Structure 1
């Protein structure tokens, strides 16, 4: 706005609302219509370098009121013009406030510097105005009363244009001015910025007492903390303080006291310096796992509000859920099952089992359940900082997108009880009859996990699963850590409780409530038969197991019985039967070949078990050894009769 002569004018650019001027009050079309119909007076048309000037008082009333609601009455500003003309930037004030430091080198924030510079500039204008006013009143022999009320009116008149911290009563404005005159620029700096001339708690002991009160774990409110401190102040001749002062100290020393006041977790979330990190450049470089109280209600008998514990294994490359498991509570076996599920899913996606390079998992059960050894057998294990949620990538995944996906289900339980977004208990009660039972949970949770895997990844136009697959295919060959099925079962499998014996019928083991029989591979049969072994299995795939015994380890596949009746034969059964018969024949042939090779060797050295027995010169140890030889020969279809060996051909 400006004056043309003595007429107050407003420019067309100020009046017209546009993207560049959202505070305008008239649309461009309305503006042109009002000018054309003579509803407002244009004193100067727009030309290059000069905006159009509209007489302010000629504006229709509705537009004047709209303007003044935002910008105030422009006529009222005119009486403050002489005072505003005395406002001049104080360069020395800017230099002083910019150079000011406190608390070991901290600087004033930019907004505080601007405000304090305005304070100094206004108080400088007050000084000049007071000098002129005082001189005029003295020459006219008028009373000096009311000067500060007049100064306050002038200061209030320019507050909108010059934001400041100056008092809003005449007496406090006078005190502020006098302190400024005596102390200079530092008188304007608040005690919260280390200005010791402004604080009431100046003594180090007094401050230690106040901070100790504020550090109390009961999180004393400002009123109680002030009362408690003032008891100390009253007995030690120290100034009392108000709750406002306490709040200032809370804010100023939050970094120091909040660890004790609010707890280490709250302190870490707000004040512990954040280490910004880039996501892994490829899949399977870093996986993170954690448990979550799944926010879905299920029916469990009379309990209509039952919730499962969900354990999730996540690839940090694109927050892709590799595996999961759920149960009544988090246990050692639940965690292992989640990782088994992750490996099975990796095989579904890639066709093979692949290990990752690094694992970040919660510290739960690391010692008591020996999970540390399990994690370290898979990859480099790095537990997150205790109590620091942001140290785990997976925590962010349990946020907005997670709950938006859960909201598709009628049994959604809402955010946790401390969240802003509360659970609608009325809606939950109305949907009790539609609530799924715990028997329906596996399918429902699988559907939820599938929806999370299908979410678009950060505006890429691709699902998280596709991003993961593309990254895996583009990964350098040397970074992929493929493992065999034997290693998979050894590291991820569940070990059977009891030992089993390898017999000529195979390995029969009871898993759950079912007895299953597994075939021993032909290559290991002679070594394994008759031995005690331990079985390790994958609960989700019992078609094969890992067998471990004394100096042997092998994969055994489940036996598929052959039909007795020819009429029951299916395609492929004849081939399997022939293969079994051929295997039996090969075993006998191997035994025969072994015997012949042994006899050939004994003939070359001119001895055999029979001659040694008849010689009668053997010591006890040799006789015992020979007896063992005879016993083994007897097992190989030879017959011992009356001290001589009769071979059956």
Structure 2
């Protein structure tokens, strides 16, 4: 029924639903899938699945105790103190390399004593800080007493130590060791800094000199020599041993001060900053990660040159399934948009939360409310914190396990240290002409993604794709057809002003022209007349730029106006025109003329109502040029076309020469 596995009290899974009948088998599977119970061992091949007792919900733990009739911790055989003692190779290395003031090492027997002492104190610290293990020893007070007794009874020929028998002194010794580290165990007679003391000013100089980022101190030998030179001038005591500076600078309280200046603040953050312990989601679509990186496959570009490109991936954190991707020359918002669109189509559901690196084109996606439409929560990963980017770890395994199979693999990123993580450039350069094209690389990459998704998850052993599709998330919404339209239309942050040509703007350095058309294919001239000079907010699908939607920005939000389509283009030369183009041009010219007449007549009606037409004031009304002719019997008026032609033929250099030519023009009209 009960047993310990990796020092954790466990209950056999089958006993819970077959013998005790505390829960049904389906309920058991559901609790494990949701992370409500922790499975420490998978059944099969003679093994029995084990559930951590403390991970079970309280009602089930109480039911187990009722059936067992006793506290399982008392009922289960305890592991003795010696079973918890583990080797400490770092302690062994520390005491082996420890150099005394006279340049000698610690005696071998002393090295062994200190190493064994560290191992025992490590065990005491583990037991007292582990809730489950400490409970096995009867709680903290009883645990110290039992540990002191166990330490005193350890066989001397196996564990050489001089730890106290009194549990209070053992506790003090353990706390001091954990606070000060391995050096705490070194006897005072051995310590190097007894003979040589750095003065208060001397320590500040040493710290400043070692942290100097411009005039760097190469090593401790240089620091030692420079210090003694300064000591002569300042009247400080000379330091005989270089080890004195090491002991000072590498002490636990001093090292964090200079580490960032010498190795970089991010390195100091990584070494000394507190690291949160997190656990992955219990079911699919709880969290999606996205990130862009180099596609680690070489190809031949159109110029016949060896090249690489970028890939943007969206991954489900629960199953590590790669849901959507896009390959492009650089990481931009179009790549991110396309990858998320593919991920939504693959999943069929919206994620609860997405995490992204806040670089590339995410600003555009946020400005267009794209990210907020996809998920309830959208967060950027903490900058300069690689450990917060789970997708980077998964993608590293994808590279090393799958992309690496191709001979044109570029190797992993520049920080990879293993030779196996690097490219075989001799092979690649010798076969440069045999490199695949970009289209071929895309197909190969798709295949590698399928292999990754079908491969066993490194923790569960189940195929990632099975984990994903067999999981259900109760808090995510299924994506319907109309959701896709709302999700994947991007809103431009800047408004566009309409002019006589319609709507024009540039996107990714490409110019797009649009016009609002009627059902019969004719331009909506009435809309155009009323919209020239008006600003519109535009929404569009980056993957299909044939159509856009126009909105007015009102105090109550965006108001939909109409849909605009790619502006029709007709040939200027008759020789290049198709039949439909000639017909289209005639219809548009005719509609333009009708609109001019209608616009003029409407205004003339208003002028006539108030006696303000040109005729009512004894003058001639100009005709609509290109549409109307002069009435019979009416004296021919000067033609604007002739004026414009004559004006275009004039040649002047400045405004002073304008008067005479202009006068002569009017005389000729």
So what's the TM-score if we normalise by structure 2? Answer: 0.48
